Amino acid sequence: MGAIYIMWLRELKRYVRSRAQIIVSLGQPALYLLALGYGFGPVFAKAGAGSYLQFMAPGVMGMTVLFTSVFSGMAMLWDRQFGFLRETLVAPVPRLHIVLGRTLGGATVAIIQGILILIVCLIAGFRPHLWGAVPASFIFLVMIAIVFAAMGASIGSVIQDMQGFQFLMNFLVMPIFFLSGALYPLKNLPRVLGWITHADPLTYGIDGLRGILIGSWQFSFTLDVAILIALAAALLCVSAWLFSRIQL
């Protein structure tokens, strides 16, 4: 268990030391929130759907956690390039503990980013329907972070160069985000698009955040939690197996 804690602490220290990363990583979500939230607000209101800022704020939170947690897998490529990964792999600790520590560290960083964006949303005018529900929303922030940090660790265990990782991340992350319902309602979609959105794991995290924070559910609390827990367990197993096959 000591190896898990050390790797978790290392990922957290890497994030805290990079103050520029903290500021820059908030730029894109804030742009989505302000430009789209206020820009499309009148159109959304005329459609009888209420405030667009209220609707999309949980989606922006989920987007932030998604991007941060998945791209935490890039740290593995840096470690591979500069030799730290070799030192880690020859250490007398189970590789399972190493990958769990890295994954939980990346998830923790993503959760912090999600909380910061929640604060930005509140400053921009977002208001949850019940203030007491805000702590409960952290359940979904945590599960989204673990699911996609494990995905990032899995990809980082397979790909060996930065260009390949960035290409694959853009190929996966942007569709996952845009098909999750973060920016638009999932009701009355074409049948094929509806199937695709139901297969998107982020859909259930966004639905959970939106349901808790503004009381609008597409599915249900139980279904969202069950699917995210199953995905987290499966992806943690996959990332551990792929990491164990890394050759020195």
Q: What is the DSSP string of 93-118?
A: S-HHHHHHHHHHHHHHHHHHHHHHHH
- Write the pLDDT tens digit of every residue in 120-156: 888 888 899 888 888 999 999 999 999 999 998 888 8
- Write the pLDDT tens digit of every residue in 222-244: 999 999 999 999 998 998 888 87
CB 68, CB 109: distance < 8 Å = yes
Show the low-confidence residues of the chain (pLDDT under 50): none
